[in-house]
Amino acid sequence: MLFNSFDFFIFFLILLPVYWYTPAKYRRNLLILASFIFYAHWSIPFFFHFFFSVVINYLFYLLYLRFNSRKIIIGIVILNIFNLFLFKYYYLFYDALSYILPSGSEFLKPGTGIIPEIILPLGISFYTFQMIAFHVDRYRKVFTEKIAFLDFTFFVMFFPQLIAGPIMRHDEIFSQINTVKRNTIKTIDMAALFIIAGLFKKVVLADSISRIIDPVFLNPQNFSGFSNFLAYNGFALQILFDFSGYSDIARGLALGLGFRIPKNFRAPFMAQSFSEFWGRWHITLTTWLRDYLYITLGGNRTGKIRYIVNLMITMVLGGLWHGANYTFFIWGFLHGLFLILERMIPFLRPPETEKGNILRRIFRRVILFHLISFSGIFFRNPSLGGALDMIQSLFNVKGLDIKGVNSLVIITLIFIIMHFFENNPFKMKFYFRYKNYILPVAIIVLGFVMISLQSGSTPFIYFQF
- Taking the C-alpha atoms of residue 213 and residue 210, their distance in angstroms, rounded to an integer, is 5
Tell me how far CA of residue 263 lies from CA of 65, 76, 260, 290, in angstroms: 31, 28, 9, 17
Residue range 435-443: average pLDDT?
63
pLDDT per position as a tens digit, 117-136: 777 788 899 999 999 999 99
- Taking the C-alpha atoms of residue 119 and residue 105, their distance in angstroms, rounded to an integer, is 21
Q: Which of 135, 282, 322, 335 is catalytic?
A: 322
pLDDT per position as a tens digit, 174-217: 988 888 777 787 788 888 888 888 988 988 899 999 999 999 99
For the entire predicted model, the pTM comes to 0.89
What string of DSSP letters covers 122-135?
A: TTHHHHHHHHHHHH
Residue 433: count other Cβ atoms within 10 Å of its Cβ.
10
pLDDT per position as a tens digit, 338-391: 999 888 876 666 655 555 577 888 888 899 999 999 999 999 998 899 999 999
Q: Say what the pLDDT of residue 423 is.
A: 83
Mean pLDDT over all residues of the chain?
86
Q: Say what the pLDDT of residue 178 is.
A: 84
- Taking the C-alpha atoms of residue 339 and residue 294, their distance in angstroms, rounded to an integer, is 13
Asked about 322 being catalytic, the answer comes back as yes
Q: Say what the pLDDT of residue 105 is.
A: 62
pLDDT per position as a tens digit, 243-275: 999 999 999 999 999 999 999 999 999 998 899
- Among candidates 266, 307, 244, which has minimal Cα distance to 421? 266
Q: Say what the pLDDT of residue 104 is.
A: 56
From the number of C-beta atoms within 10 Å of its C-beta (0-12, 13-18, 19+), residue 150 rates as middle
Residue 357 has φ and ψ, to the nearest 5°, of -90, 105
- Asked if residue 365 lies in contact with residue 272, where contact means CB atoms within 8 angstroms, the answer is yes
What string of DSSP letters covers 358-372?
A: HHHHHHHHHHHHHHH
pLDDT per position as a tens digit, 388-430: 999 999 999 889 999 989 999 999 999 998 888 888 877 666 6
Q: Say what the pLDDT of residue 240 is.
A: 94
Q: Say what the pLDDT of residue 440 is.
A: 66
Domain residue extents for the chain: 6-88+122-180, 186-272+350-464
Q: Say what the pLDDT of residue 75 is.
A: 96
**Selected residue with higher pLDDT from 358 and 105:** 358
- Among candidates 137, 222, 218, which has minimal Cα distance to 174? 137
335 pLDDT exceeds 80?
yes
